[in-house]
Amino acid sequence: MFARAYDLLMADVDYEAIYQWLKPYIGLDQIIVDAGCGSGYLLLELLKNNHQAIGIDNDTEMLSLAQNRIQEHELSPMLYEHDLRNSLGIKVDVVLAMFDVVNYFKGIHQVFYHIYQALNKDGVFIFDIYKEEVLGIYNDYVEIEDDPIHYEWSVKTKDHKLYHTLKINHEVEKIIQYAYPISYYQGVLESFGFRVEVKDGIDSRKHYIVAYK
């Protein structure tokens, strides 16, 4: 249920704008991993622009949606089911983790370590994370919409956690995300040897991190 709902709710994101933001950091001769690729919207944008991109996600249904989406554009996706807390087992030039993928992890030492190990020399890891202020903005947040589907989304926050409840067609999905201070993420990245830059990006609720190996 969650994968299909997520796919519908993410359909109106401006992926071309996100790609243009990423473009200065990624080359056509580089191998890119879209980590937490979800249903494949950003991965499709990368492939349409002739990048060598691989999609990984830990959700089988998400990967199935991504495969269908990309094949509809007569492209051949490379998709793998994978948990980012485990070694990627390959060497690549760029790892992307967009759309608050990192916020799904309670602790990110393992994730960042395995990404560091997967990157080639001078590789780059780019991701977005919620700003801490989101915890205040979204506490007791409620959203009820009928387009593109009827859903009820509510959020409670406590101790750097966002507790999401999504109700669709009498089904309920509960999700927890974690929003720590930017200094926490910077500190872990730097402990592995990354050089870190914090940027502004498309979504004002988020920090955009560019970490160089």
pLDDT tens, position by position, 159-173: 999 999 999 888 899
Q: Is 205 helix (H, G, I), strand (E, B) or coil?
A: coil
The 3-state DSSP class for residue 184 equals: helix
Structure confidence at residue 4 (pLDDT): 80
Q: Name which residue leads in pLDDT, 3 or 180.
A: 180
Provide the pLDDT for residue 52. Answer: 97
Q: How far is 187 from 209, CA to CA, in rounded Å?
A: 12
8 A C-beta contact, residue 157 and residue 78 = no
**Nearest to residue 78, comparing CAs of 110, 53, 46, 109?**
53
For residue 180, the model assigns a pLDDT of: 97
pLDDT beyond 70 at 187 = yes
pLDDT band at 8 (very low <50, low <70, confident <90, very high): confident
Domain with CATH 3.40.50.150 in the chain: 2-130+181-212
8 DSSP 8-state letter = H
pLDDT for 169 equals 80
Across 152-161, average pLDDT: 96
Predicted local confidence at residue 159, as pLDDT: 94
Alpha carbon distance 20, 150 (integer Å): 32
Per DSSP, what are the bridge partners of residue 210?
126, 197
- What span, in angstroms and rounded, lies between the C-alpha atoms of 105 and 101? 8
pLDDT at position 185 = 98
Residue 76 structure tokens: 């051949």
Tell which residue, 13, 7, 34, has the closest CA to residue 203: 13
At residue 63, what is the residue type? L
The confidence band for 140, taking pLDDT boundaries of 50, 70 and 90, is very high
Separation between Cα atoms, residue 97 and residue 209, nearest integer Å: 10
pLDDT at 12 over 80: yes
Q: Which fold has domain 2-130+181-212?
A: Rossmann fold (3.40.50)
- State the pLDDT confidence band at 9, using cuts at 50, 70 and 90: confident
